Each structure stands twice: as C-alpha cells, then as structure tokens.
Chains A and B, each alone.
Chain A
Amino acid sequence: MSANPEGLSERASKGDLTAASELVARFYQRIFAYLRRLCSNDHDAADLTQRTFTKAWASLASYEQRSTFSTWLHGIAYHVYVDWRRKPNRVDPQPEEWWEARVAQGPSPYEDAAERELARQLYQWVDQLEDDQKQAVHLHYYQGLSLSETAEALGVATSTIKYRLRGALDALRAKAAEPFAPETRTP
C-alpha cells in the first residue's frame, strides 16, 4: 500500500471502493481520536466519525487536492463537530477521569510520574481554553498538523493560528505558574 492519500482519493472519486476503504483504514483512528478528545463519550465520537466520512464521500468530487487529504478530512471533521455542538445540551465537559485513564493507559511516553501528573493537568487546562484556542491546540499538537494545515482545516489564516497558539500557550503557562492550583475534578 504505497499509494498516497491524494491518489487514493482520486481513485475513490472514480468509484474505486478499495481505495475508499484504504482511506478509511488510514484515517479513521486519527479522526476518531480528534473527535473523542472533543466529545464526552465514545458513542458520540464514533457517530461523528461516521458522519465525517459520509460527508467526505459526498463531497469527494469537490476535493481538488489543493490541500492534503488529511487536512481536508480534518476540516470536515471540525465542521461536523461544530454542527453537532450547535445543537442544544451539547456542551459536555470532558470527565476528568477520562484524561487520567488515558494518561495512565498503555506504554507511557512520560518520563516520570510527576510529568504524567503535569500532563494530565495540562490536558484538562486545554479543555478549559476558549474554543478557537482549543481547536488550534487539538489540531496542531494533538493531531500533528502543521500550522498551515491547521489554518486550512479551520478556514483561517496561518497568522491567526499562530496568534491563537501563542494565546493558548500563555494561558497554559499562567495556569501552571499558579501556586497550589485548585483541583478542578468533577465529582
């Protein structure tokens, strides 16, 4: 499977189901992870992932490969999430235990327990950022998109992304500098 995503998308646009299946296999984990960090449960994240791909297939003809397929797909996922958030009673905070469990699970990339605790708190603080800053952090740091890809996915200028990330980092650094920062665990 050496074909790049753009080539696969071209084949899928011509009706190649195999290529479409290959695209799903390559990206569904990343899209699910992106949406799961934004939603409060697996079910909603899976549902949004399905909507994202359904929309991608419907709009495949309009994909002109001016950006990477990954960027284009993240952009669709972002808009699907925004549409979902607009519906009433959709502002569910991420349970704190979820981040704690995620940090504790699997092979730890953290150097020690202190860093793990710091990372857990950091991810919770990210959830408390403003929406614009939070989306920039999710796409750039969590999803690994470049600055220009993040800007493309969110439909803003690269300079705007830089500004939002700078604001997010300042806010997170200020949170970390607070002595005896109160725990924001939800009961």
Chain B
Amino acid sequence: MNDSQIETLLRKAPQPAAPPDLFRQLQADIALPKSVRAIGEHPKVWQNPLRRGIPALAFGLFILSCLVIIGMQANVVSQLKQQNQELRSTTPNLEQLRAQQASYERLQQQVEELERLRRDNQDLQRLGAEVAQLRPLVSEVNRLRAENQRLAASAAAFSRRVQGAPAPESEADPERAASTRCVNNLKQIGLAFKMYAVDNGGLFPSALLQITNELNTPMILFCPSDSAKQPAGVIGWSQFHPEMTSYQLILSGTNDEDYPQRIISKCPIHGHVGLADGSVQRIADAVRAGQAREVMIDGRLTLQWLDRKQPESK
C-alpha cells in the first residue's frame, strides 16, 4: 500500500452521526455573554486630550534631549579637532626641540661637572696652601725633636758622669749593640753545633731542627738588626720554620774536627761568621780591606786570613 492509497482511505473515514437530540440541546445551551452583546455600546467617557498626547510629548522630549546631547558632543569634538590641528602644526618642530632639550641637558651636566671640578680645585689649592704653611712647622718640629734628643742624651751622659758609670752600649750606639747581640747569637749557634757533634760522633747537624735541644729558644736565630724577619713577639719552636732565620747556616752533616776555620754560620747583615771551632769573627771590615776572604778547602767554605793577622775572636 502506498501513501496515496493510505491518504485516499483516510479521507473516506466514516462520519459518525450525532445523536438526534444533540442539536436541540446545543441550541438550548447557546448563551451569548452580555459583554459580547454590549460591544460598541459603551458610553464614551471623557478623557483629557492631553493624556493621549503624553507619549508623543515624552518621545519628543527624548528626541530633543538626544539632539541637545549630540550637539554638545559635536561641539566638544570640533574643539578637540581644533586642538589636535594646533598640536599637529607644532609637531614638525618637535624633533628639533627634543634635540635642543638633549643638548641643553648635556650642557647642564657638563656645567655641573665643571662646577664640581672647580670646587675640588679650590679645595686642592686651599690644602696646598695649608701644606705650605705646615711644612716649615714640620721641619721646625724635626729640628726641635733632634734638639730634644740631643739634650736628653747630654742630660743622661751628665747624670752618668755625675754617678761615675759608663754609658751603656745600647744607649751610646744602638747599631753596635745590635751587632754585639748578633755575635752572641752566632756564638750560641756555634756552641749548639759543637754540642750536637759531641752527641753524634763528631758529625755536625745536617738540618736546623736537629739542634732544637741545644738551643734554648729560636729567638737566637734572628739577627737583632733584621727588622724584616724579626718576629712580632717571642715565639717557640712550634711557631718556627727553618726559612724564618736571619742567618745563613751551613748544615753539612760532616765531621769538621780537622777544619776549625770552616764557616758554619754567617750573618748577611753584619757580615759576622761563625767557625767550626765555635768562635765568631767580625770580618766585614777585613774582607773590604782585602785582609780576609772565604775560600773552598776540601769542599768546605773556609775563612782564610791573608796577612796572618787575625783579629781577636769572640
């Protein structure tokens, strides 16, 4: 069965007949409402004609206000346009003004720098003047200090003369006193070498730390005039290192019983030398005068007197 056959049969659907008394009942039930009958018969009530015009009036006012606002905005826009044009007309000079501004700022910085240099220069000149004023005062102070020392020394000498005591070497000549203490140091070092040799079959030490038992303190190993190597305070063997010593020590580890003139220690500051026999010679002046020299004998650095006239040994 196709659609058209179905549609044809549906259109042929039977029409059920209504009951015979239905029409009469429906006619009897017709009840048209009074409101329907009265349509168009209502008496006209008077209305204020302005009421009808209020919406139009409101709309007109709204349009009018809109026009006013638009006009104000247009005025503002025209003013802004005018300002914009004025600004645009000044724009071509903008780059030039900017460059001028930059150069002005640069010049201002230079001026400030110059001003600062000028102030520095003034300070420098002022300080120079003050230094020039103080310089005579310094020389005067030095002169007064020397005079003071001289007076103090003469006063001390006078008091010693009064008491009949000789002036101590350290006060009379500090350098000579230091040289004497250096000789004493070398003497003690030589003695320590000898004591070591007695305990070790006649062999001298081959290392400095081998004679720590024979030396009471490492302070002996510092020349009093050696301000560069002089320790800040008294030190013990635990703080001492062999390279700290002021003296040149020849630690051969040999038996030098037959070479008493062999040099075992030397002070590079005073030129004193310690010999294997335990003596210490002040040979600086003799070497300069060509009366003594250091020579190698059997591989040992030995002191040799040329004029056979030895100074007194210490």
A residues bordering B, Cβ < 8 Å?
12-15, 17, 20-21, 24-25, 28-30, 32-33, 36-37, 42, 45-46, 49-50, 53-54, 57-58, 60-61, 102-103, 105-106, 109-110, 115, 118-119, 122-123, 126, 137, 141-142, 144, 169, 172-173, 176-177
Question: On chain B, which size bracket covers the interface?
Answer: 20 to 34
Asked if B29 and A13 make an inter-chain contact with CB atoms under 8 angstroms apart, the answer reads no
Asked if B22 and A176 make an inter-chain contact with CB atoms under 8 angstroms apart, the answer reads no
Q: Could you tell me the distance between the alpha carbons of A122 and B6 in the complex, rounded to whole angstroms? A: 8
Give the Cβ gap from B134 to chain A, nearest Cβ, in Å: 116
Contact of B30 among A21, A32, A106 (CB under 8 A): A21
Q: Determine the chain A residues whose CB is within 8 A of the CB of B311 once the complex forms.
A: none
Q: Determine the chain A residues whose CB is within 8 A of the CB of B17 once the complex forms.
A: 29, 33
30 contacts between A and B (CB under 8 A): A13-B32, A13-B36, A17-B30, A21-B27, A24-B27, A28-B18, A28-B26, A32-B16, A32-B22, A33-B16, A37-B13, A37-B16, A42-B16, A46-B25, A50-B22, A50-B29, A53-B26, A53-B29, A54-B31, A60-B32, A61-B33, A118-B1, A122-B6, A137-B10, A141-B13, A142-B11, A169-B6, A172-B6, A173-B3, A173-B6
Asked if B31 and A142 make an inter-chain contact with CB atoms under 8 angstroms apart, the answer reads no
Closest to A60 in B: B36
Asked if B2 and A173 make an inter-chain contact with CB atoms under 8 angstroms apart, the answer reads yes
For the residues of A in contact with B, the DSSP-based class is helix
Asked if B1 and A57 make an inter-chain contact with CB atoms under 8 angstroms apart, the answer reads no
Is B93 part of the binding interface, using a Cβ–Cβ cutoff of 8 Å? Answer: no
Q: List which B189-236 residues lie within 8 A (CB) of chain A.
A: none
Give the Cβ gap from B22 to chain A, nearest Cβ, in Å: 5
Closest 8 CB pairs of A and B: A15-B37, A141-B10, A32-B18, A102-B14, A176-B1, A36-B16, A109-B12, A142-B13
Is B47 part of the binding interface, using a Cβ–Cβ cutoff of 8 Å? Answer: no
Is B15 part of the binding interface, using a Cβ–Cβ cutoff of 8 Å? Answer: yes
Is B35 part of the binding interface, using a Cβ–Cβ cutoff of 8 Å? Answer: yes
Q: List which B154-211 residues lie within 8 A (CB) of chain A.
A: none
Asked if B9 and A122 make an inter-chain contact with CB atoms under 8 angstroms apart, the answer reads yes
Q: Determine the chain A residues whose CB is within 8 A of the CB of B27 once the complex forms.
A: 21, 24
Is B50 part of the binding interface, using a Cβ–Cβ cutoff of 8 Å? Answer: no
Give the Cβ gap from A28 to chain B, nearest Cβ, in Å: 5
Whether A24 contacts B1 in the complex (CB less than 8 A), given A29-B17, A118-B9, A137-B10, comes out as no
B residues bordering A, Cβ < 8 Å?
1-3, 6-7, 9-19, 22-23, 25-27, 29-33, 35-37, 39-40
Q: Determine the chain B residues whose CB is within 8 A of the CB of A102 once the complex forms.
A: 14, 16
Give the Cβ gap from A143 to chain B, nearest Cβ, in Å: 9
Q: Determine the chain B residues whose CB is within 8 A of the CB of A54 once the complex forms.
A: 29, 31
Contact of B32 among A20, A25, A126 (CB under 8 A): A20
Asked if A20 and B30 make an inter-chain contact with CB atoms under 8 angstroms apart, the answer reads yes
Q: A14-B37, A50-B26, A102-B16 are known; give 15 further A-B pairs, CB within 8 A.
A: A15-B32, A20-B30, A24-B27, A28-B26, A33-B16, A46-B18, A50-B25, A57-B33, A61-B39, A106-B14, A109-B12, A110-B9, A141-B11, A173-B6, A177-B1
Q: Determine the chain B residues whose CB is within 8 A of the CB of A45 once the complex forms.
A: 16
Asked if B39 and A13 make an inter-chain contact with CB atoms under 8 angstroms apart, the answer reads yes
Q: Could you tell me the distance between the alpha carbons of A58 and B17 in the complex, rounded to whole angstroms? A: 26
Asked if A15 and B36 make an inter-chain contact with CB atoms under 8 angstroms apart, the answer reads yes
Closest to A32 in B: B18
Give the Cβ gap from A42 to chain B, nearest Cβ, in Å: 6
Q: Could you tell me the distance between the alpha carbons of A176 and B2 in the complex, rounded to whole angstroms? A: 9
Asked if A169 and B7 make an inter-chain contact with CB atoms under 8 angstroms apart, the answer reads yes
Asked if B18 and A49 make an inter-chain contact with CB atoms under 8 angstroms apart, the answer reads yes
